[in-house]
Structure formats: C-alpha cells, structure tokens
A and B are shown apart, each in its own frame.
Chain A
Amino acid sequence: MALKIVKGSIDRMFDKNLQDLVRGIRNHKEDEAKYISTCIDEIKQELKQDNIAVKANAVCKLTYLQMLGYDVSWAAFNIVEVMSSSKFTYKRIGYLAASQCFHESTDVIMLTTNQIRKDLSSPNQYDTGVALTGLSCFVTPDLARDLANDIMTLMSHTKPYIRKKAVLIMYKVFLKYPESLRPAFPRLKEKLEDPDPGVQSAAVNVICELARRNPKNYLSLAPLFFKLMTSSTNNWVLIKIIKLFGALTPLEPRLGKKLIEPLTNLIHSTSAMSLLYECVNTVIAGHDVNGSPFLPPFSLALFLFLRFQLCVQKLRILIEDSDQNLKYLGLLAMSKILKTHPKSVQSHKDLILQCLDDKDESIRLRALDLLYGMVSKKNLMEIVKKLMLHVDKAEGTTYRDELLTKIIDICSQSNYQYITNFEWYISILVELTRLEGTRHGHLIASQMLDVAIRVKAIRVFAVAQMATLLDNAHLMTGNVQRKGICEVLYAAAWICGEFSEHLENPMQTLEAMLRPKVATLPGHIQAVYVQNAAKLFATLLKNQEGNTDRTAAQETSQLMIDRLPLFVQSANLEVQERASCILQLVKYIQKLQQKDVEVAEEVIALFAGELNPVAPKAQKKVPVPEGLDLDAWINEPPSESESEDEQPKAIFAKEEPKHSRARHTEVDEKELAKRREARKQEQANNPFYIKASPSSQKVYQEAPGVEHIPVVQIDLSVPLKVPGLPMSDQYVKLEEERRQKERVEKKKKEKKKRKEKRGGRGKKHDSGPESEEDITPAHMVDIVTEEMPENALPSDDDDKDPNDPHKALDIDLDKPLADSEKLPVRSHRAAEALKSPAEDGDAESPASQEPKKKSSKEKREKKKDKDGDRKVSVKNGNPTRETALWMYIYGDKKSSKHKKKKQKREKEEKEKKKKKKHHHHHHHSDGGGEESVQNGTVEEEEPLPVSVCHQSFTEIDIQGNLQDGSQVVVSVIFENKCDNFLKTMEFNVLDSLNSKLQRPEGSGPHDGLSVPFQLPPGVSNEARFVFTMQSIVMPQKLKGTLTFIIKDSSTHEKLDFKLHFTCSSYLITTPCYSDAFAKLLESGDLKCSSVRLEGVNMPFHHLLARICFHHHFSVVERIDSCASMYSRSIQGHHVCLLVKTSGQTVSIDAKCDEPTLLGNVLDEIKQTFSQC
C-alpha cells in the first residue's frame, strides 16, 4: 500500500505543477496563447484521472490560468471533486479555485451544500476555516438558507479562529438570505463582547456594515458601542465604531453630545492619523445636530462651535500638509462639512482654489467637488472664470470632462440660484462648445435648451448666439474627434426654430440649416434640423408677406424645395419622414403662393403655442385617482387567438396601457363624467382631503401666460449682438462695473439716509464686502418652474434603487422574534427527496449521531449559551423605549431632570397601552441545535384587572426539553408598567398531580420561587421556570400567583394567573425524510384517527404553514392538494398527519402511538381553524 503511494507520487513528480506552468509561460513569450492551450489540454487529461492529487494539481494550475483571463468554468465539477477531498492540502486548493471562479449562476454549486456542511462541522479547525473562506466568496441564496443555521452554530465555536470567520461570513448570509438577520442577530450582538479581540472586531465589522445602510435599526446598540469605544484599544475596531457613530448621530441628537468627550479624548491621545481623521469626521457629523430643534444649552453650543472651528482648522492643517494623502483626506472631510456648514468652508476658498492647481488629479477632483458648494452669487463668475482657465490647460480628457460637468453643475445648481446674468451663462456654454473631444455635448445642449425655455428674458440673446453657432457649424462637424460636441447643434437648431421670431436674420439661419453638410450629422440632429427649418420657414413667410414682398416669399419656398430632397433621401427614417412631409407641404404652399393666396397665417398656425417645461418625473407623480384600478381589465381579456394577432405589434407594447385608457374614456365618457362629479363631491365633503387650491390650477391652465410677471429690463451696456463667438470674460468685467455702480448709488442713498438719521447705526455695507442680498441680478429673470401634475405625490423614494440588496436588510431588530422566524434547520426539500438512498443515508447519519456524541463539555457550553440568550432577549422594545434605555445606562451621571422626563414618557406610554395583551414569541436558538428545541406558542394570560399595579406578563413561552422528556421550561417576561419599583417578586404555581414546578431542594411543595431580579419602572425582564410533567397526553391549566412589593408603599401585592399547557406545546418540530416516514407508517404500531374541517377557505400552503407554525409540524412531502406531516413529542411519540383538501373541506388523517395525545392535538388543530 505504502509502496503504491510512493510509486504514485513518483509518477506525479514528473507532472507539470504550477511552478512549471508559470515557468513554461514565461519561456514562451512569443506564442503564449498556443502554449497555454496545450497546457489546458494536458490539464483536461489530468482531470480525467482518478488520482485526487493529480486532479488537485490540475485545478491549482487552472486557478492560475483563471487569473490570466481564461474561462475555467468548464472544470467546475472537478473543482467540487477536489473540494471534497479528505486531505486539507487538496481541499484548500479546491476551495481557492471555487472562490475564484464560482458565482451565483454556477450550477454545480448546489452539489456542494452537503460537502460544505460536512466541512463546517469538521473537527479540524482549518477545514472549517477554508470552507468558510471559500463560502464567503460564492455564497448563493440557496446556500445561505441551507447553511445559515450551521454557521450560526459556529459563531459559538470554542476556537476564536472559527468564531471570527463565522461572524464575518454572517454578513454575506444576511445579504443573500435576509430572513436570517433577525434570528441571528442576538448572537451577533453577543459577539460584540467576545473575549477574543479578533471575534469582537469581526462582529463590529459586520454590524457597522449593516448599520451603514439602515442606521435607524441599530440605534439601540449605541450604548454597547459606546462602551466598546471607551474600552477598546484596537484602532481598527475604533475606526469602525467611530464611523458607525457618524451614521447614527444624525438620527439621535443626544448621541452627538455624548460623543464629544470620548472623541476629544481620542483626538488628543491617539498617535494614529487614521483614527484622528475619523474622529474629526464624526465630530463634524455630530455637530450638525445643533442646527436641529434639539438645541443644547447655549454654553454647550458655544463650546461645540469652538471645537468645531478647531476641527476645521485642523483640517486646514491637513490640507496644507505636504503629505498628499492627508491633503486629499482633508478635502474629503471638508466636503462633508460643506453640506452642513458652507460658511465655515467658504472662508478657506483660497486654499481650495490653490488645490485646483495641484499636480495630483485626485486632489484636483476633490477640490472641484468642494467648489460646488462654495459658490455664491458674488463669486460665481470669478470661480467659473478660473475653472475655464483650467479647462484650457487641462491635459487629459477625463479631467477636462470632469471640469466641464462641474462648471455646469455649479451654475445650474438649485435652479440657477447663483446666476445673476444669464447672458454670461449662455456665453460660457457657447465657449464650452469649443472643447475638443468632450463626451458631454448633450449636457451642454440640455443646459442651453433649459435656459432658453425657462428664462424668457434671455431668449433674444440665446437665439442670436445659437444662430451664430449654426452658422459656424462646420467648425464642429469637420473633425471626427468632435463628434460628441455636435449634440449642441441639436439645441441650437431647436432654439432657433422655436423662438424664430427673435432671429435677427432668419434667412441666413435657414440657409445654414439646409446646407448639404448637415447630412453628415447624426440622424436625430438632422431630424431636428428639418423640423425647425419648417418653423423658420413659417416665420419667414409671415415676415415677408407682412412686407408684401411676394417674390421674396416665393424665393424662400423655392429654397426649401431645392434643399429638402437631400433629407428625403436620408437613411434615417425619422429624417426621411419629416423631410418628405414638409417637402409636400412647401410644394402645396408654393402652388398657393403662385395663385397669390396669403398663406403665412395658416402656416404659422402649424407651430402655434408654446411648449412648457415639464419636470422630469412628472409623469410618475401623477396620483392614481380614487377608484381606478390600473391592473383591472377594461374590456374582457382578449382571447388567445387575438393576442397572437397582436404579436407583431409588440414594439408598441409599452404604449398599450395608454391606448386602452384612451379607449376607455371614449367608451363611457358620460359615465366617467358622472363619476368624476361624484368624486369631487366626496372630496369636498371629506375633511381630510387636501384640495388643490383653485388658484394653482389656474396657473397651470394659463401657464403660457406668465406674462404678468415683470419681464426684463435689459441692461443697455451689454451689446445685444456679439460679433463672432462671445467672450464670457467681458461679462465679468461688465458685471463688476455694474455692481460697482450699484454700490456707489447705494452708498449715496445710505449717506443720505444717515444724514437724515444721524443717531441710527449705519449698516456695514460700505466697509465690509457686499453681502449676498445686495447683488441684484442684471436681468429681472423669471425662471419658469417645471410643471408638475396636479396633486403630485411627494415621493422621496425616487432615487432608491429597488435592486439594492441592502434594502432587504432594513429590518426592525428590536421586535422580539416570532416563532416562525427561525433559521431553517436541515430539512428536506423537494430537491432532496429525489436523492439516491445512499446519499440520503449519508446525509442523515450526522444528525442522528449528533445527540449521542454530545460530550459533557458541549453541554456546559450550551448552558452558557442559554445564559447569553437570556441576556440578549431582554426586550428593549420600541424606539421610544430605546432612548429610555440609553438614558438608563448613562443617565446616572446626569441630574434627575432626565428621570422626570422618563417618568413622564412612561405615563404616556402606559396610557397608550392600557394593558394591552402582547403576543410575543421568543426564539431560542441553541448551539446544540437538536437537543433542546424551542417550542413555545402557548400563552395564556388572563388580563387581570389590577387596580394598584400595572405589572403584567407579556410573554409566556413553554419550551420542551428533549433530553429529559418530563421537563418543560416556561419563560416568563415580566414587564413593569407602573411608576414604581417592584421588588421581592415571588412566583408560585399550584402543583397538580401531573405537573410540578421544580423548586430548589429543601423547599416545601407550596413555597414560591423568588424571581431573581427587581423591576424598575418600565423595564421588562425574563425568568425561566422548570416544570416536571408526568404525562403529556392531556392539555392542562395551572393556576398560579405572583406576589411582589411595591417599593414606596411597601405593601404586598398579588396577581393571579393561569398557565395553559396545550398538547401542541409538547410537540417539537422534527424533520423527517419520506422513506423514514413511510417506514414509520408501515410499522403498524400507530393508532389511527381522523378529523374533518369544513369551511376552510385559505390556500393549501397557508393551511400547511398554519399547522406547522401553531402545532410544530414539518411537511414531509406534498403532492398537489395532499401533504404528509410529521412531528414528535418531547417524550418521543411520533405524530403523523395526512392532510387532504378538496374545496373548502379539509380532512386530516392522523396516526400516533398515543391515541389520547393524538385526539388532543387534533382538537387543538380544529380549534385553530375554527378561530379563523
């Protein structure tokens, strides 16, 4: 045997290994591809061999080739084979290959589930380690679902090496299988306090990653993180925590204040620049809170402000630092401040402009970002001028394009807020068109259109500029490199056409638009050219007929007729169609002209009316009117054959709903009108309906007539006609002069005023720089707002990406777990039912062996686990309570003021709740998994009318213990709803013959058990009690009392309650495979019983889910409307169900080795369905 191994390895050593492959590739530099293809052939041969070592070697080589860009997915199955090798060496190679080339659509992944599960539970920690590492790279939703429970178990592994990996991979599992977040979260939280720093760091990492996307769900963890921050010395962890706080502070105003002190300490004490930087960053985020309504006392605000100034100063130091990295980060941080405190950043303008000249592109880009927020009416022109200089200098196109977009962003931000002179802006845009090779032609074009349409005052000027552009179009079209920029012509043509009445020389423009060269432009631009040539033509006709210049008008028509055929021949459908339409029209017009008919009026009517700007998302925001169901069929659904007929029209599928709606209005116009009237009536009577004010409606209808807004007094110092291309610089000068003039005038006025009012304090206008408001725009400009539909819905979620995986993780983590929320413990799925018997047995064996294998050590661990569970399952309730908790932990230093507040809140809460009964289900997931399965649904609590006290049990969980079939654990959550402290609580239950409360040794059979905690007001806590059951075949009720002392009054109070143990609560969800199930039924030991349920009208899968949920069954197999289910009692009784449904009748045939138990369970099932 040994000889064989040695022999095998001797054969192997002449195989090519990874090093040989690399060497070979390096030696075949000329024909690398050819060499590699021969290598791949060799690898294919090697993969066919049985020897796993040879296979592993081949896979190792493939991993290298994958890095070089070769697709190796064809070997996926071989990779799986190598992964399942028992030797660590090969296993590691396999997992590495898998992690490099497996992804969600790799189909062999589903074969790996059992292998990975086996590796995860391997006694060798490194087997587990590589499996976790590999899995982290290729986890799929299926794998996540199937393995979540196993990984969660590993989070409590004895080895920290495994723990930290398991904790970290949970994040990936959450992303793929969001349902696992809530069940796993308590344990994850527990790991924040793990003794091993690596595990702790991993937990912090995961929670920070989760909280970054949905911070509000993690606010309740703030106290815990606060503690970690003050105790941890690991910089990596600290940075993560501080980053997390940065995300939390905007949500919880008080947090910012709390953080100031520890953060300041860190800033002063740390030598790590990375940590220092993050601290400053978070102080900034915390600072922003002061602007909010929660205004801190004045002195604190002042302190914060000073501190904040300090931070900005510190950033300045960073930026001035010669280290480029710190410079970059300083700018990055500044951009964060900018959002909240633009003023403090604006004072560093010099520095930032200086950074624009930096040789480092990254830094220049950052500085550009900052500029965006720094502009004001006053400095916009100056800044843009500077940027234009940079545009000319910029060497790379990417940076220049970035500059271009930034200029446009800066100018157009918040609805052109900072632009005082639109002529200047238009000339800037025109100047930008001279850029070589930019990709952003369309951006400039859309700006031109936007400005020309929305700023009426500027149209004359804009049209003049655009006409010049059209005239010089050859400059843009000539060069191939300038392709991007010719988009601008689209805008130019449209503006000239639409506002042609402002054209100085329309004939010239028309000729420019019809030049043969235009045919080289992209189709969509040509189309616009043709259409707008027609508009121009109309205007021209009107002018010429007005002058009674018949021949000129006829000449114009002739020009059109001469030039248009060029476009009729266009290959572009749109151009061709428009051109031929217009050509025919012009021909007809020419005929009329020859008959001396005046046509201008009619032609111009073709293009009458003004186009209004419509907001980009307007269509989406139209509210769906009441009573309109967009999904409902308007007509009878078309028959199959009809839809086939329609298939060729599929291109117009998108428009279909519109069509049908239009048809609808046609069909019953009257009916609609009636309904509309009724709706209006209803709305008028409904006090909650916010009516659109009639005035706003009017504005819409008369939108073209905004004329009543004062329009333009054009500054005469600006020449209206600029020869050639305009220079934006001149505007800067002009603007300066204008402002100067205004300032002088103002001064004069003020002087006058001051003379009049000598006592009054003059404002600082004359000495200091002029303030924002002082700058009056050169044009009185009315910026037409974009139209929005009536009653547009304010929707903020427009920007959210529905595909964002993190959206699914927006889960409330503070709600207690419900029963249904547990991680799927290995159970059978349809796919698994098909497995061969051999595999099946293999899969089942670990499960059946596990309980036996449990050593006492593991048991101890489990106990610890439970303790942990208990700690974290203390309910910390809804958001209001969270903050109370926060204060509870940290409020001790503070005065009683907080406490008062708290009490007040408590009262309010009390009133709201009014002793509502809470239905909460707890989930306890144990490390042991199989051993003790959570089992509670039973919850019986009499809402007792207690006058003095408001304590209540909110939850009672009954949990069976498999190991000892006669024990049941009941967890009770006590919540104190009154204003006083409760202490010395004693829990007692009147024992029955069958069931006994387990009491400590030495106490009498009627003594109560003291509850091991006291309850401050508003706090809840959980206690567990163990009951011993003789027989579990009958449900039973136990009476009990709870006595306690209210602290201030020191009187004894008593609360009676009943505990209800149903038979279902003795059942434990146990998976069962179909063949085992069949064997069980064949064995003949089971007694049969059946029940019929009438009038159940719910889908079959709901019905099954309900049985699973309430009665702890699991589905063994389901075929159509028939399913078999299985469960086991804590004393090992098998319960099998066969559920069939037909119509509203459900019949359940059941088998169990204990007929009484079966009868009771069936009764309970019946009851469940009678309630619904």
Chain B
Amino acid sequence: MIKAILIFNNHGKPRLSKFYEHYSEDTEQQIIRETFHLVSKRDENVCNFLEGGMLIGGSDYRLIYRHYATLYFVFCVDSSESELGILDLIQVFVETLDKCFENVCELDLIFHVDKVHNILAEMVMGGMVLETNMNEIITQVDSQNKMEKSEAGIAGAPARAVSAVKNMNLPEMPRNINIGDISIKVPNLPSFK
C-alpha cells in the first residue's frame, strides 16, 4: 500500500500532496516539512530509499523518492510494495506528466494541480497501484479531458480566451525543469507492460 504521495520543490513548497490515510491539515503540513527535511539533506548519489520520519511510517514504512531538477517526488509505502517497482512507477508518473503537459515543468504543477491529481488518480487509487501502463493512463486522461471540453462547449470559449490572456502576463520563469533532458540514473528497469 502507498500511504502518501508528495511532490515538493527544492525549497519544500508543496506542489501536490495526496494522503491515503487521514491526517489533520496541520499534521499533513508537518509531514511535508519533515519529509522535505529528511530528503533534502541527502546527496545526489545516495540511494533513493530512506526510513520514514517520526510522523509518517513506522518500521514497515519507507520513503522512496526521486529528485527531478527542482522537484522531489516522494512516495511513502509499506513493505508490500516493491522498492524498485515504486521507483519505476515514479518514473512512469513523471513521464506521463511530461506527455500530458508537453515538456512538463514546475510551473505546470503549480498552476494545474487539479490536472496532476486527475492523472495521478488514473495511476494510484486509494493507495493501491491501479495502472502502470503509460499509454493506457494517457488514453483515459485524454478522453476525460475531451469530455470536459465538450461539456464546456461554446459557453466555455470566452472563459478560455480570458484565461489565455491572463496567462500571458505570467511572471516569466524559465521552463527549466524539462524532464527529458535530465538524465536520471535508473537501474535498468524495463517499463511495465
């Protein structure tokens, strides 16, 4: 079982938090802070596993994380999950994000956290892995988005136009976390079928 999935940036700002067990809002923030503290002090070339902190976990739980440019992707899992499998799942998740957002960067996650949630929901459900096949995930996400668009119909058009205009004055941040060009050392795992 997966207990929680957290994404935060190099400064510990949460970009997505999904807890599959209930915690109060305060505890959630504490967990994010603690996890960030644990993960951020680790060097680049150490292993991707660490024993969970005080708040989340216990002996059966461990944190499995990957660091992509400015973002940390952290999964808190128990011993029923395969460690290397989860590492691979994170990779699938990031690659899926990359496909769905076309060269994903931190900004996409900042402004479209709802979409990230929707993508994640196609992969992990209630703490259990639902789908590991990237194409299948993308197909389902796309057809749901299509449905959303068709529901908005003509009425949605002006709103979209306005939001496009609004987006033009985005603070210019370099789209610096293109995942494609950051080589991550993956122990030769074939992608799941």
Residue contact B125 to A324, C-beta cutoff 8 Å? no
Residue contact A69 to B28, C-beta cutoff 8 Å? yes
Residue contact A63 to B114, C-beta cutoff 8 Å? yes
CB neighbours of B55 from chain A (8 A):
none
A120 to B21, CA, bound (A): 23
Residue contact B132 to A133, C-beta cutoff 8 Å? no
Residue contact B128 to A278, C-beta cutoff 8 Å? no
A274 to B48, CA, bound (A): 14
User: Residue-by-residue, is B1-33 near A (CB-CB < 8 Å gives 1, otherwise 0)?
Assistant: 100000000000010111010101110110000
B156 contacts A by Cβ under 8 Å: yes
A327 to B144, CA, bound (A): 42
CB neighbours of A375 from chain B (8 A):
none
With both chains docked as a complex, state the minimum distance between the C-beta of A975 and any C-beta of chain B, in angstroms.
37
Residue contact A164 to B131, C-beta cutoff 8 Å? yes
User: Residue-by-residue, is A353-389 near B (CB-CB < 8 Å gives 1, otherwise 0)?
Assistant: 0000001111101000000000000000000000000
A96 to B185, CA, bound (A): 33
Within 8 A of A (CB), among B57-104: 80, 82-85, 87-88
A313 to B119, CA, bound (A): 41
Residue contact A236 to B132, C-beta cutoff 8 Å? yes
The one of A9, A69, A92, A169 in contact with B26, judged by C-beta atoms closer than 8 angstroms, is: A69
Residue contact A365 to B51, C-beta cutoff 8 Å? yes
Residue contact B46 to A359, C-beta cutoff 8 Å? yes
CB neighbours of A765 from chain B (8 A):
none
Residue contact A362 to B17, C-beta cutoff 8 Å? no
B47 contacts A by Cβ under 8 Å: yes
Q: How many residues of A contact B (CB 8 A)?
A: 85
CB neighbours of A96 from chain B (8 A):
114, 117-118, 121
A1009 contacts B by Cβ under 8 Å: no
Residue contact B84 to A273, C-beta cutoff 8 Å? yes
Residue contact B47 to A133, C-beta cutoff 8 Å? no
CB neighbours of A201 from chain B (8 A):
129, 131-132
B140 contacts A by Cβ under 8 Å: yes
B43 contacts A by Cβ under 8 Å: yes
With both chains docked as a complex, state the minimum distance between the C-beta of B58 and any C-beta of chain A, in angstroms.
11
A26 to B15, CA, bound (A): 13
The one of A6, A93, A130, A271 in contact with B190, judged by C-beta atoms closer than 8 angstroms, is: A271
The one of A19, A71, A124, A206 in contact with B166, judged by C-beta atoms closer than 8 angstroms, is: A19
Q: If A235-B193, A236-B132 touch, does A67 touch B113 (CB 8 Å cutoff)? A: yes
Residue contact B46 to A329, C-beta cutoff 8 Å? no
Residue contact B22 to A325, C-beta cutoff 8 Å? no
The one of B49, B88, B167 in contact with A274, judged by C-beta atoms closer than 8 angstroms, is: B88
CB neighbours of A172 from chain B (8 A):
126
Q: If A18-B111, A22-B111 touch, does A169 touch B117 (CB 8 Å cutoff)? A: no
A328 contacts B by Cβ under 8 Å: yes
Residue contact B50 to A362, C-beta cutoff 8 Å? yes
A361 to B1, CA, bound (A): 24
Please indicate which of the listed interface residues B28, B46, B125 has the most CB atoms of chain A within 10 Å of its own CB: B125
Residue contact B131 to A198, C-beta cutoff 8 Å? yes
B133 contacts A by Cβ under 8 Å: yes
What residue in chain B is nearest A235 (Cβ atoms)?
A: B192
Residue contact B110 to A22, C-beta cutoff 8 Å? yes
CB neighbours of B110 from chain A (8 A):
22, 26
A835 to B190, CA, bound (A): 55
Residue contact A103 to B22, C-beta cutoff 8 Å? yes
CB neighbours of B132 from chain A (8 A):
201, 234, 236
What residue in chain B is nearest A242 (Cβ atoms)?
A: B82
The one of A67, A88, A209, A278 in contact with B148, judged by C-beta atoms closer than 8 angstroms, is: A88
What residue in chain B is nearest A124 (Cβ atoms)?
A: B147
A690 contacts B by Cβ under 8 Å: no
The one of A14, A124, A126, A137 in contact with B126, judged by C-beta atoms closer than 8 angstroms, is: A137
Within 8 A of A (CB), among B148-176: 148, 151-152, 154-156, 158-159, 161-163, 166-167, 170-171
A610 contacts B by Cβ under 8 Å: no
CB neighbours of B182 from chain A (8 A):
none
A277 contacts B by Cβ under 8 Å: yes
CB neighbours of B183 from chain A (8 A):
none
Q: If A69-B28, A235-B193 touch, does A168 touch B128 (CB 8 Å cutoff)? A: yes
What residue in chain A is nearest B62 (Cβ atoms)?
A: A362
What residue in chain A is nearest B140 (Cβ atoms)?
A: A161
A272 contacts B by Cβ under 8 Å: yes
A104 contacts B by Cβ under 8 Å: yes
A96 to B154, CA, bound (A): 25
User: Residue-by-residue, is A256-293 near B (CB-CB < 8 Å gives 1, otherwise 0)?
Assistant: 00000000000000011110011000000000000000
A17 to B114, CA, bound (A): 12
With both chains docked as a complex, state the minimum distance between the C-beta of A123 and any C-beta of chain B, in angstroms.
13
Please indicate which of the listed interface residues B47, B140, B151 has the most CB atoms of chain A within 10 Å of its own CB: B47
A1013 contacts B by Cβ under 8 Å: no
Residue contact B128 to A205, C-beta cutoff 8 Å? yes
Residue contact A66 to B187, C-beta cutoff 8 Å? no
The one of A197, A236, A328, A359 in contact with B129, judged by C-beta atoms closer than 8 angstroms, is: A236
User: Residue-by-residue, is A89-105 near B (CB-CB < 8 Å gives 1, otherwise 0)?
Assistant: 10011001000100110
User: Residue-by-residue, is A194-237 near B (CB-CB < 8 Å gives 1, otherwise 0)?
Assistant: 00011001100110110010000000000000000000011110
A950 contacts B by Cβ under 8 Å: no
Residue contact B148 to A9, C-beta cutoff 8 Å? no
CB neighbours of B117 from chain A (8 A):
63, 96
A608 contacts B by Cβ under 8 Å: no
CB neighbours of B152 from chain A (8 A):
89
CB neighbours of B185 from chain A (8 A):
323
A724 to B113, CA, bound (A): 63
A616 to B108, CA, bound (A): 56
Please indicate which of the listed interface residues A14, A88, A124, A273 has the most CB atoms of chain B within 10 Å of its own CB: A273
CB neighbours of A130 from chain B (8 A):
121
Residue contact B130 to A171, C-beta cutoff 8 Å? no
Subset of 22 A-B contacts with CB under 8 Å: A9-B158, A9-B159, A18-B113, A22-B110, A63-B117, A64-B114, A66-B25, A88-B144, A96-B121, A126-B147, A129-B140, A129-B144, A139-B126, A197-B193, A201-B131, A239-B82, A271-B188, A272-B84, A274-B87, A277-B83, A277-B84, A278-B82
**Interface residues in chain A, defined as those with a beta carbon under 8 Å from any beta carbon in chain B:** 5-6, 8-10, 12-14, 17-20, 22-23, 26-27, 60, 63-64, 66-71, 87-89, 92-93, 96, 100, 103-104, 124, 126, 129-130, 132-133, 136-137, 139, 161, 164-165, 168-169, 171-172, 197-198, 201-202, 205-206, 208-209, 212, 233-236, 239, 243, 271-274, 277-278, 323-329, 332, 359-363, 365
Report, nearest first, the 5 A-B pairs whose CB atoms are least far apart: A136-B126, A274-B84, A324-B47, A103-B22, A360-B46
Besides A19-B111, A325-B84, 17 more A-B contacts (Cβ < 8 Å) are A6-B154, A9-B158, A18-B112, A69-B28, A92-B148, A103-B22, A209-B80, A273-B187, A274-B84, A277-B83, A324-B46, A326-B187, A327-B47, A361-B42, A361-B50, A362-B47, A362-B49
